[in-house]
Structure 1
């Protein structure tokens, strides 16, 4: 579910070129796919937005952990 959510978000404005797609595969999806546990954090509301938090229409936050600790 997380991989599908993140891929849809990343490609929402069109297919990614090789470079950004490769970076997502290496940095993000490697962590997501190797996690022992993956939690999707709930919407904390607009009061905790970063200054740029409202720039994107979608925001997804996950916490990945392994048996030895967080990734």
Structure 2
């Protein structure tokens, strides 16, 4: 008898990284900012968004503290204890709100130069607008911070689900 392995809900594809230091800013004005985009292939099995968010939280790639250590087998995500993040921690937002979160953060020290603005339009704002649903990680309680969090000055996290493209993108925009 042959047993069938379950098809994983999410398969990690790649993790493009936009480092503001790679663009021309006046000395020190890039603010040590960056955007990490973890992109996943979403299985064709029709799960509702809450189940997809739960699959993301359970995925090994979600165990990234974004402190340079990369993905580790530990109970942390971003600045928080992993167990404190649930699908209900993510709030539905529209495309305009999601773009505004990233745009306001990226331009907090003045407009970014055109080469960076172009990359943000292509790799961040366009996928936000194309997504069929968007989720913003809400405010977690203070006791949700893990043992050495918070380490970022600002931290913004969005999840983009694009059903026609069968993709999920986890966006983290932060500065340190």
Q: TM-score scaled to structure 1, two decimals?
A: 0.78
Name whichever structure is richer in helix by fraction.
Answer: 1
- Structure 1 residue runs without a partner (length 5+): none
Q: TM-score scaled to structure 2, two decimals?
A: 0.35
Q: How many residues align?
A: 68
Whole-angstrom distance in 2 between the partners of 1:32 and 1:48: 32
Name whichever structure is richer in strand by fraction.
Answer: 2
Deviation at 1:48, TM superposition (A): 7.8
The alignment's C-alpha RMSD in Å is 2.2
Select the structure of larger CA radius of gyration: 2
Q: Name the SS of the counterpart of 1:60 in structure 2.
A: strand
Selected match of 1:23 from 119, 123, 132: 119
Q: Deviations over 1:6-56 (max 9, x none)?
A: 100000011110011011001001111100000112345431878xx624x
- Structure 2 residue runs without a partner (length 5+): 1-96, 170-176
Q: Given the alignment of the two structures, is residue 47 of structure 1 paired with residue 146 of structure 2, yes or no?
A: yes
Moved over 4 A (4+): none
Q: Name the SS of the counterpart of 2:129 in structure 1.
A: helix
